[in-house]
């Protein structure tokens, strides 16, 4: 057809083809659990959330204006992905690039993990778009430090940071690649403009006691180092590319940087590799952490493949093979009836109806399972809450008013941690049990503060005092709660827990606090450099929560 002889028409055709495929995928594919969790965020728009900055919630809210169901979360993903491709194309600086439109889209399908963010919604979805915009703005800034480029770069910096905190790494590695930027007043002006746009999120962090920063930098559990973590990171660097990794990385190493911008692209890739290599010494790496490198990889290798016919031939063979694999995987994701294996997107069809039937449609309190709580609410519309416990982690459910919405209701507990209760549902090979709780009444956000730098304990009987702070605008009473002393060790592992002997008041008024005297018998535990103690509340035998501050333990 004559239309395909025009390179610009070819580009629009391929862009629309990707867009349409992603629309169908987004419509017919069940939700991932993380997507449902971010959907819950979108129900109450804010400038921040417990785990990530807020842009993913805004993306979902905008999608919901146009569509219902799963695509009501994902519409902006398809828009973002298409815009990202267009921005990457604009950023490519190669005089004959319009003769290689098909090569560009072959490269897109040759970096496997990038395809996922054309139809799912996670913080990486807007992050990829704003990373592409930042690289385009930086390239233009290097050519002309005019007002428009300064504003453009500051805006894209803020966009990355509002998407995911990984954005600071992209900015940092660009600066490392070009130290003279630190002497450039106009670069600082762009940075200050980006910071100005980011201030509402920083204010949200301040008003909520910096929950995201504390979680990622301090509270997140540390894994003991294993060489498998380091090896997994290397595997992730290959896996995000897919089966084309030999030819893609060959092109990357063969293509030399010809200017400052191309040098910055290489620093981003090397920087992400080194940064997350170091992080393997305390945590298990995840593939999506390095997905940003795919954009500079495309920008760097495009010229090499355009000039090298032999490499382009191998890219065509491997890329088309990968395209076939991706299309089959997409069909399996959307079609559980023909998929040879059960995937995460298939699971809600099985366990959600089972849970609804076994709980008689009543609200459900999931113990330490924010993802299941979110999926269940999305597919049923029934109220849910995720109760945060020490052996798990906090989530957005701890910050928002989900707990308040459950007060006084007859609810079902749903937990992986206790057997012997009523079986509620089975997800894969894991059974979830529960029981009915009448007139549910909790106050998870109360605080139990020990005002000491160190907690000195004796081998027999111990006495101490702590402040019980009612953070609620209502009276709290203590019929359904136990006060527990919890000893924790490495990675916050619970070493021992003991009931505390306390003389409690009948109630505690709104926003009041009281100093309580407590005592306990010292359990049999070994002295450990990382041993800590805290007071926790246990409601309805749901396990201990995060009410107390951690104090290092010293044996007398």
3-class secondary-structure state, position 481? strand
The confidence score (pLDDT) of residue 106 equals: 96
pLDDT at 223: 64
In the numeric block, which tokens belong to residue 419? 């057997």
**pLDDT on residue 443:** 95
Q: Are 496 and 523 in contact (CB under 8 A)?
A: yes
| C-alpha closest to that of 384 among 402, 401, 357, 398 | 402
pLDDT digits (tens, 9 = 90+) for 6-39: 899 999 999 999 999 999 999 999 999 999 999 9
Q: What is the pLDDT of residue 392?
A: 86
**Of all helices (H) and strands (E), which one includes residue 476?**
strand 476-477
**How is residue 270 written in tokens?**
């090397």
pLDDT tens figures, 213-257 = 888 877 665 567 788 999 999 999 999 999 999 999 999 999 999
Above 60 in pLDDT, residue 115?
A: yes
Return the percentage of the chain with pLDDT > 70, whole number: 98
Q: Given strand 494-499, what is the order of strands in its sheet?
A: 455-457, 551-555, 532-539, 481-488, 494-499
In contact, 481 and 537? CB cutoff 8 Å: yes
User: Which pLDDT score, from 0 to 100, does residue 73 have?
Assistant: 96
Residue 508 pairs with which residues in a beta bridge? Answer: 476
Output the six-digit token pair for 224: 């003991």
Calpha distance 384→292 (Å, rounded): 34
Poorest-confidence range of 58-62, 225-229, 474-478?
225-229
**Predicted local distance difference test score (pLDDT) of residue 530:** 80
Residues 511, 386: Cα–Cα separation, whole Å: 24
CA neighbor of 384 nearest in space, from 372, 397, 373: 373
C-alpha–C-alpha distance, residues 148 and 145, integer Å: 8
What pLDDT score was predicted for residue 3?
Answer: 61
pLDDT at 480 over 80: yes
Q: Whole-prediction pTM value?
A: 0.94
Q: How many Å is the maximal CA-CA distance in the chain?
A: 90
Contacts of 308 (CB under 8 A, 6+ apart): 251, 254
Does residue 149 have a pLDDT over 60?
A: yes
pLDDT confidence of residue 556: 77
* 3-class SS letters over 159-201: HHHHHCCCHHHHHHHHHHHCHHHHHCHHHHHHHHHHHHHHHHH
* Overall average pLDDT of the 425-439 stretch: 90
Range among 185-199, 338-352, 447-461 with highest mean pLDDT value: 185-199
Instruction: Of 128-137, 231-240, 452-461, give the lowest mean pLDDT range.
Output: 452-461
Can you give the pLDDT at residue 20? Answer: 97
Domain ranges of the chain: 2-334, 353-437, 447-555
Find out if CATH 2.60.40 is the number for domain 447-555: yes
DSSP code string of 95-140: TTGGGGHHHHHHHHHHSGGGGGGGT--STHHHHHHHHHHHHHHHHH
Neighbouring C-beta atoms of residue 429, cutoff 10 Å:
5
């Amino acid at each position: 057809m004559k239309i395909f002889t025009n390179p610009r028409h070819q580009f629009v055709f391929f862009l629309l083809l990707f867009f349409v495929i992603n629309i169908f995928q987004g419509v017919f594919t069940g939700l991932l659990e993380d997507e449902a969790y971010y959907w819950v965020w979108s129900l109450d728009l804010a400038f921040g959330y417990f785990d990530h900055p807020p842009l993913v919630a805004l993306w979902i809210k905008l999608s919901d204006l146009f569509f219902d169901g799963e695509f009501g979360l994902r519409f902006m993903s398809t828009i973002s992905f298409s815009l990202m491709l267009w921005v990457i194309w604009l950023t490519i600086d190669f005089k004959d690039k319009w003769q290689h439109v098909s090569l560009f889209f072959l490269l897109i399908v040759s970096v496997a993990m990038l395809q996922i963010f054309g139809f799912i919604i996670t913080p990486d979805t807007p992050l990829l778009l704003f990373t592409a915009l930042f690289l385009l703005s930086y390239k233009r800034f290097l050519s002309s430090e005019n007002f428009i480029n300064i504003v453009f770069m500051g805006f894209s910096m803020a966009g990355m940071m509002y998407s995911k905190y990984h954005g600071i790494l992209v900015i940092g590695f660009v600066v490392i690649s070009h130290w003279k930027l630190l002497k450039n007043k106009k670069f600082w002006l762009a940075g200050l403009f980006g910071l100005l746009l980011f201030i509402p999120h920083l204010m949200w962090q301040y008003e909520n006691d910096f929950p995201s920063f504390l979680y990622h930098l301090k509270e997140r559990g540390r894994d003991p180092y294993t060489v498998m973590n380091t090896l997994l990171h290397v595997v992730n660097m290959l896996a995000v590319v897919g089966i084309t990794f030999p030819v893609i990385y060959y092109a990357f190493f063969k293509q030399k940087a010809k200017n400052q911008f191309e040098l910055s692209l290489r620093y981003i890739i090397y920087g992400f590799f080194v940064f997350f290599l170091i992080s393997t010494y305390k945590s298990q790496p995840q593939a999506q952490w390095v997905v940003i490198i795919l954009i500079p990889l495309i920008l760097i290798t495009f010229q090499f493949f355009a000039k090298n016919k032999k490499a382009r031939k191998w890219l065509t063979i491997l890329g088309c093979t990968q395209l076939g694999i991706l299309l089959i995987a997409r069909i399996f994701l959307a079609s559980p009836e023909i998929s040879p294996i059960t995937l995460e997107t298939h699971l809600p069809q099985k366990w959600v109806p089972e849970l609804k039937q076994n709980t008689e449609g009543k609200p459900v309190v999931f113990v330490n399972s924010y993802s299941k709580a979110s999926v269940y609410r999305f597919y049923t519309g029934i109220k849910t809450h995720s109760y945060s416990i020490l052996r798990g982690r906090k989530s957005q459910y701890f910050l928002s008013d989900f707990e308040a919405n459950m007060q006084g209701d007859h609810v079902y507990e749903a937990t992986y941690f206790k057997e012997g209760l009523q079986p509620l549902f089975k997800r894969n090979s894991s059974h979830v049990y529960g029981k009915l709780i009448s007139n549910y009444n909790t106050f998870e956000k109360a605080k139990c503060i020990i005002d000491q730098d160190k907690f000195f304990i004796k081998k027999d009987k111990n006495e101490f005092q702590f402040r019980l702070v009612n953070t609620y605008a209502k009276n709290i009473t203590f019929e359904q709660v136990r006060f527990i002393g919890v000893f924790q060790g490495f990675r916050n592992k619970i070493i021992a827990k003991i009931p505390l002997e306390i003389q409690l008041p009948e109630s505690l008024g709104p926003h009041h606090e009281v100093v309580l005297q407590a005592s306990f018998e010292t359990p049999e535990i070994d002295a450990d450099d990382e041993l800590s103690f805290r007071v926790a509340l246990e409601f309805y035998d749901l396990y201990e929560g995060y009410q107390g501050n951690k104090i290092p333990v010293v044996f007398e």
